[in-house]
Structure 1
Amino acid sequence: MAKQFDALSDALIRFIDAQHMFFVGSAAPEGRVNISPKGMDSLRVLSLNRIVWRNLTGSGNETAGHLAQINRMTLMWCGFETKPMILRCYGSAKTLHPRDTEFDALNALFPASPGARQIYDVAVDLVQTSCGYAVPFMEHKGERDVLSKWADDRGAEGISDYWETRNQTTIDGAPTHILAQGSD
């Protein structure tokens, strides 16, 4: 039942736009695989083969550490509310930190947040759809505001301290490069 494509279509982009969350998968050559749910208006489809998503400060920083070792990423959406479908976009991604020149322009695509940690600029090389018949119906009741309040309460200095103490390595000990190269 799976179908594969070289690029997104307008219909698949509409499906992505209708979803309230997506999942990110990454893995280093060795160690643990990371799968992380994302939401909070943090993704934009820029073209049929380009997606950007903004990563907010959180407890782990696995994706950055994995991409520094091997550049591969999978994004996945599930149709929880209407159409039973699973959509995966496979590709590579460029990690952009707030210190990078391209960060500000892409960050401007999203609502302001002091917790903006990275933006991933994903080059999609394979798109796959599958049935999603086993995905349950789930009702979206709204976004949680806990992470936004947490970041607002800390401010820029508190977020920077958090990066230094909690976001510099993956759970397997690989560097995430959250701080400037000389500080890692």
Structure 2
Amino acid sequence: MSKKLESITPELQSFIEQQKIFFVGTAMAEGTVNVSPKGMDSLRVINENKVVWLNLTGSGNETATHLQNENRITIMFCAFEGKPLILRLYGKAKVYHERDAAFEKYVDLFSTSAGARQIIEIDVNLVQTSCGFAVPFMDFKEERTVLKDWADKKGEEGIRDYWKEKNTVSLDGHETGIFDN
């Protein structure tokens, strides 16, 4: 039922590119484990062992905090339509902010977003597929525009103020690195 691979195959890349949602899991050695749903066409396969994801502004900044302490990450995709499949990408990740050259290297891969907070680069060292037989069928209706509309309305200065208020410290009280030099 499950299969382990060393890299993302062309078929799995096609599957990834069709998905409307994926889930990100990170954790430090101690403290809260974080699992977050992500969408809005924010992930790109760079090659068979590298993906990048545009992390948009949210109510917390757990992933970035965890990755600066423990750089392990899991990305999970589930087939909610068509043939059943669960796909997990395991790897090591780096967080890039606007101040980093790598942010500029990747940001043009994505549509412009006022809420762009970080780019996460993941070196994939294990790909696992499993059956997904218990994952329900769900129909995609449309993308929500609430986050984009909110970020556009806040503008660049408003987003930075929001980061200062909500994104500088994790749930467990650790610095997120959002304003570090």
Residue matched to 1:75: 75
Alpha-carbon distance, 1:174 to partner: 1.1
**Deviation (angstroms), 1:46:** 0.5
RMSD across aligned C-alpha pairs, in angstroms? 0.7
Deviation string 1:8-64 (CA, Å, 9 cap, x unpaired) is: 100111111111110000001100110000000100000000000000001010000
Q: Distance in 1 between matches of 2:69 and 2:4?
A: 27
Amino acid at match of 1:145: T
Equivalent in the alignment of 1:146: 146
- Distance (whole Å) between structure 2 residues aligned to residue 145 and residue 104 of structure 1: 25
> Which residue of the partner structure matches residue 54 of structure 2?
54
Matches within 5 A, 1:15-54: 15-54=15-54
Alpha-carbon offset, residue 156 of structure 1? 0.4
Deviation of 1:180 after TM superposition, in Å, equals: 2.4
Find the counterpart in structure 2 of residue 99 from structure 1: 99
Q: Could you tell me the percent identity over the aligned residues?
A: 56
1:112-123 to structure 2, matched below 5 A, reads 112-123=112-123
User: 2:13 maps to what in 1?
Assistant: 13
What TM-score results when the alignment is normalised by the length of structure 1?
0.97
Q: Distance in 1 between matches of 2:24 and 2:141?
A: 22
Structure 2, unmatched stretches of 5+, are none
Separation in 2, partners of 1:180, 1:72: 21
Q: Which runs of 5+ in 1 are unaligned?
A: none
TM-score with structure 2 length normalisation? 0.98
Aligned with 2:121: secondary structure?
Answer: strand
| Residue 105 of structure 1, CA deviation | 2.3
Distance in 1 of aligned mates of 2:102 and 2:28: 25
How many residues are treated as equivalent by the alignment?
A: 181
Deviation at 1:175, TM superposition (A): 1.0
- State the partner residue of 2:172: 172
